[in-house]
Amino acid sequence: MGNLSLQDVAKRMRDIDICMLTTRSPAGGLESRPMSNNKNVDWDGDNWFFADGSSSAAQDIASNPQVNVAFSKEPGLLQKPVFLSVTGEAELVTDRAEMEKHWDKDVELWFKDGLDTPGLVMIHVHASSVKYWDGHDEGELRVQ
């Protein structure tokens, strides 16, 4: 396969809904939690997740923006497994217009009041690099 392009990574990420977001706590430990990628996204180096502003994820990001987002996809018939490890910086976004761009009806499973949910924030992760494992191929892609 050689080196993957940003478009190749985006294609592999597209159908993966649940990923693991890892943050560093103020005490220095690492914490991972599942997040919905709202699959069928056209990834361009940015991931967007909805969260409660008082959650440990939001609090960790407020004190240290360095994060990792891990994706994996089990192989289907005649397919290879896909593993992606995205490293980058996260920021908390409270701008409603930006939230409206990323809102998906399925997110209401976690936030019953939709965009009017008190304390709702978006975690915006801007990737700096992606490591990938695709069957026997592996490599790293720098994201600008």
Cβ count near 70 (within 10 Å): 15
**pLDDT for the residue numbered 1:** 43
For residue 53, the 8-state DSSP code is T
Tens of pLDDT along 17-56?
Answer: 899 999 999 888 999 999 988 765 678 889 999 999 999 9
Query: Domain locations in the chain?
Result: 6-142
**pLDDT for the residue numbered 31:** 96
Mean pLDDT of the chain: 89
Task: Check: pTM over 0.85? Answer yes or no.
Answer: yes
Q: What is the mean pLDDT of residues 112-128?
A: 95
Q: CB of 109 within 8 A of CB of 142?
A: no
Confidence band (pLDDT; 50, 70, 90) for 15? confident
One-letter amino acid at 20 equals M
Q: State the burial class of residue 8 (Cβ atoms within 10 Å of its Cβ: 0-12, 13-18, 19+).
A: middle
Tens of pLDDT along 71-118?
Answer: 998 776 666 778 999 999 999 999 999 999 989 888 888 899 999 999
Question: For the domain bounded by 6-142, which CATH number is listed?
Answer: 2.30.110.10
